[in-house]
Amino acid sequence: MDTLLSTLWRYFKKRPKMIVGYVVLTILMIALWIVDPLLARYLIDKIDLLVQKQFDTHTFLILFGLLVACSIGLSLIQACHKLVCWRMLNYTYINFQIDTYKHIVMMDVIQHIQRRSGAIIKKIDNAADQLWDLGFQIFQVIVPSVISGVIFLGIAFHVSPHIATAITIILCFYAAILAYVTRKAHPLQKVISRIWVSVIGRAYDVASNILQTKSAPAEHREVQRMRYWNERGLALQKTIDWYWGILEGFSIFMFMRTVILGLGIYYIAQGELTLGELFFFIFISFRLISPIEVIGNFLPKWNEKMEKIRMGVQMGQISSQVHNPKHGKKLKDLKGEIVLNDVSFSYDASNNTPVDADEEEEDEIDVLDPRINIHEKDPMSKHAPISLIKRNAKKSSSPSKEALQELNLTIKPGEHIALVGHSGAGKSTIAALLCRFFDVTKGAILIDGIDMRELDLFWWRSNVGLILQDNTMFNDTIIENIRYGKPSATDGDVIDAAERASAHTFIQEMPEKYYTGIGERGVRLSGGERQRIAIARAILKKPKIVLLDEATSALDSKTEKDVQEGIAALIEGKTAVIIAHRLSTVRSCDRIAVLDKGKLVACAPHTELMKICPIYKEMVELQIHGMLAE
């Protein structure tokens, strides 16, 4: 509840006029709620008195008119009150989504790597929906009803202490049952909520990788996985349903009305209560029970909704390790000198964000947990223990392995340098550090003599062009995919970049040329076409430094030739770091840096390395004899 209220207040306080409007309308609405039964009570007692003597039409019409005016006024105020609540919560819904999404896209790469993208977006969407839903129930129904209920209860003790005491006892008894059921159901509901989120996250992963799923073929396995975990969640939900059944079995409204009616008739017979006062008690029973019944009706889904809000809020609170300096430097004339000074890096050390104990215990369910047999014939036959269903998110106490160790390397402005080595040597890690997706664990990376961490992060990345082995495209047109790195570019600029990247020819052959949609992740394009689109994007960006990470390793010889022409246009006159397994593609570089297990073994031109570096010589000979991909 604290999470819900604090999140709502964070957005409400930015709209002080709406808060004032809400408070004023709530006061007026509660006032009319109180006046209405008091006026009705007086009218009933007055008519009873008039009937005994002589019916006074004038007095009746005045009282009845006041009652009608009160009802009309109450209807109008309630409509305005609801409208204000809608506006406040619509504002909250939109801004919560924007703020959380902004935090997600700004989050460290390591935080994205550790989470399913589908689950991340699902958490944001769920949290925003439930924030609106619960916020509306609280501020439209519960808050006004609770305040009016307390006032009514105070008046009730003044009217008839006996009946008021009976009402209080019933309310306390119901509240005790409510607390008991909630305490029992809450921990189970947490697990169920995480099962649903994780199942959807896995489904998103499968849909995003549908080609791999079908080629496995794994369709039946994935359906079975979803069936298994949904049945697990349903099995736990059945247990919770028993608790809510207990709550539903006790109809507090009917019971309280029966008690009030019985005691009221008794005290009327004793001359201690009037007919109007009995009507007053029957009327206020609705106001007293209304907030409790709203909570009671919501509770079967209340904990689930609260969990969804909490998970979404937590996503917006994940701290990052890579920070943009407050007054980051922007170099007027970036030359492109890169110096790696005693650089060490560990992926484990880079992910040392403190984890809240609650978040650590209750992260997403691991739907790939090897201890769970998703092929068992009857997953409902036994409930998996909660301790087994929860992912063990505690960090290992074993020492972290360094991907780079005390690496020293100087890259001169405009120099083309290649990074080679066996898998796991640290080549891609250097590229990630140069993009500042991570910060070095030890040492420093200097750009034109300035520590990279002192540079404005967004300015720096705008000056770096990154081409990967598999460049994922957006589900948009070709022209917008090329323009993504520089939104202000004209169509002419885009076409010029495509021509330099050797992409213009195949684009012209597409059905709608540059305005052809390329599908999810660019599935309508071949690997070589995606690479050339990526190169065109980088050329349009006009970076001062270019990073090529296995940009041609997955291409056939003819396509590679076309892509190489685009790469040549891209890196001309720029500092370039080229990562490749195919040594034939890096021999033309000014120098080749050989890495082995995170250490720099040698750095020199090809001919010199063949003389001084056994590791490099071995790699060349293996490729010559076809042992490694050429």
Residue 50 is predicted with a pLDDT of 52
pLDDT exceeds cutoff 70 at 627: no
Among 202-211, 299-308, 433-442, 611-620, the minimum mean pLDDT is found in: 299-308
**Residue 567 and residue 478: Cα distance in Å, rounded?**
19
Instruction: Indicate the length of the chain as a whole number.
Output: 630
In this predicted structure, what is the pLDDT of residue 447? 92
Four-way CATH pick for 2-315: 1.10.1060.10, 3.40.50.300, 1.20.1560.10, 1.10.472.50: 1.20.1560.10
Residue 384: is its pLDDT beyond 60?
no
Q: Tokens representing 60?
A: 């009746």
Query: At 309, is the pLDDT very low, low, confident or very high (cuts 50, 70, 90)?
Result: confident
Find, among 359, 363, 370, 368, the residue nearest to 391 by Cα: 363
Could you tell me if 344 and 407 are in contact, meaning their C-beta atoms sit under 8 angstroms apart? yes
How many Cβ atoms are within 10 Å of 58's Cβ, its own excluded? Answer: 7
Sheet holding 338-345, edge to edge: 404-411, 338-345, 442-447, 450-451
Q: Place 381 in a pLDDT band, splitting at 50, 70 and 90.
A: very low
Residue 344 falls in which region: left (phi positive, over 0), alpha (psi -120 to 50) or beta: beta
Q: Kindly tell me if the per-residue pLDDT of 75 is higher than 60.
A: yes
Average pLDDT estimate for 126-136: 83
Q: Return the sign of the alpha-carbon dihedral for residues 225, 226, 227, 229.
A: positive
Give the dihedral of Cα atoms 533, 534, 537, 539; nearest 10 deg.
-100
* 576: CB partners within 8 A, 6+ apart: 415, 416, 417, 545, 546, 547, 548, 589
Rounded Cα gap, residues 200 and 196, in angstroms: 6
Query: Angle CA(142)–CA(146)–CA(149) in degrees, nearest 5?
Result: 135
pLDDT-derived band at 456 (thresholds 50, 70, 90) equals very high
Average pLDDT of the chain is 79
Q: In sequence order, what DSSP letters do the residues of 156-187 get, joined into one string?
A: HHHH-HHHHHHHHHHHHHHHHHHHHHHHHHHH
Close Cβ partners of 28 (under 8 Å, ≥ 6 residues apart): 77
pLDDT at 289: 73
> Are the CB atoms for 535 and 563 separated by under 8 Å?
yes
52-56, 153-157, 431-435: lowest mean pLDDT where?
52-56
Q: What pLDDT does 361 receive?
A: 38
Tokens of 557: 């010889």
pLDDT in tens, 209-224: 776 788 778 888 888 8
- Asked whether residue 628 carries a pLDDT value surpassing 80, the answer given is no
Let me know if 423 is exposed, middle or buried by CB neighbors in 10 A (0-12, 13-18, 19+). Answer: exposed
Contact present, 119 and 201 (Cβ < 8 Å): yes
Query: What was the pLDDT predicted at 566?
Result: 76
> Helical H runs in 137-251?
143-159, 161-208, 210-215, 219-249
| Average pLDDT, integer, range 156-185 | 84
What is the DSSP code (8-state) at residue 477?
B
Helix (H, G, I), strand (E, B) or coil at 613: coil
Question: Among 108, 132, 103, which Cα is nearest to 7's?
Answer: 132
Match 């005390």 to its residue by tokens. Answer: 406
Q: Which secondary structure element, helix H or strand E, spans residue 281, and what is its range? A: helix 275-315
Comparing 459 with 54, which gets the higher pLDDT?
Answer: 459
Residue with the larger pLDDT of the pair 625 and 384 = 625
Which pLDDT score, from 0 to 100, does residue 410 have? 92
Is the omega angle on the peptide bond into residue 187 within 30 degrees of 0, that is, cis? Answer: no
| Residue pLDDT, tens place only, 464-495 | 888 877 777 888 899 998 988 888 889 898 99
Distances in Å between the alpha carbon of 212 and those of 209, 224, 370, 375, 591? 6, 17, 21, 21, 38
Alpha-carbon torsion 212, 217, 219, 224, what sign?
Answer: negative
Is pLDDT at 20 greater than 90 in this prediction?
yes
Q: Which of 507-511's residues contact partners 24+ apart within 8 Å by CB, and which partners? A: 507/478, 510/478
For residue 432, how far is the Cα from the chain centroid? 24
Alpha-carbon span 444 to 454, nearest angstrom = 11
Tally of CA atoms within 13 A in the half-sphere of 189 that contains its CB: 21
Nearest to 587 by CA among 610, 565, 571, 570: 610
Domains of the chain, residue spans: 2-315, 404-624
Sole residue written with tokens 């619509």: 90
Could you tell me the CA-to-CA distances from 578 to 150, 157, 543, 572, 575 in Å, in that order?
73, 83, 15, 13, 10
Query: Which pLDDT belongs to residue 445?
Result: 93
pLDDT digit string, tens, across residues 244-255:
776 666 667 778
With bands split at pLDDT 50, 70 and 90, how would you rate the model's confidence at 383?
Answer: very low
Give the DSSP per-residue string, 353-380.
Answer: ----HHHHHT----TT-TTS-TT-S-TT
Query: In percent, how much of the chain has pLDDT > 90?
Result: 9
Confidence class for position 408, pLDDT limits 50, 70, 90 = very high
Quickly state the pLDDT bin for 118 (edges 50, 70, 90).
low
CB atoms within 10 A of CB 464: 21
pLDDT tens figures, 436-452: 888 888 999 999 999 99
The Cα–Cα gap between 90 and 562 comes to 52
Of the given ranges (171-175, 369-373, 410-414), which has the lowest mean pLDDT? 369-373
Q: Helix, strand, or coil here: 410?
A: strand
Mean pLDDT to the nearest integer, 232-239 = 80
Tokens of 300: 């079967």
Lowest mean pLDDT segment, chosen from 17-26, 139-148, 335-344: 139-148
**From CA 501, how far away is CA 566, in angstroms rounded?**
4
Cβ atoms of residues 147 and 292 within 8 Å? no
Summarize the confidence of residues 178-187 as an average pLDDT. 77
pLDDT higher for 523 or 302? 523
Which amino acid, one-letter code, is at 269?
Answer: A
Average pLDDT over residues 301-324: 76
Of these ranges, 90-99, 313-322, 376-385, 576-585, the one predicted with the greatest mean pLDDT is: 90-99
Question: Strand, helix or coil at 515?
Answer: helix
Measured between alpha carbons, how far is residue 331 from residues 31, 449, 539, 544 in Å? 65, 11, 21, 12
- pLDDT of 303 reads 64
d(CA 564, CA 535) in angstroms, rounded, equals 10
Do 2-315 and 404-624 agree at the fold level?
A: no
- pTM of model > 0.95: no
Residue 315 has pLDDT above 70, yes or no: yes
* Model confidence at 108: pLDDT above 60: yes
pLDDT of residue 302 exceeding 70, the answer is no
The more confidently predicted of residues 344 and 130 is 344
Task: Tell me the CATH architecture of domain 404-624.
Answer: 3-Layer(aba) Sandwich (3.40)
pLDDT at 365 (0 to 100): 55
185 or 258: which carries more pLDDT confidence?
258
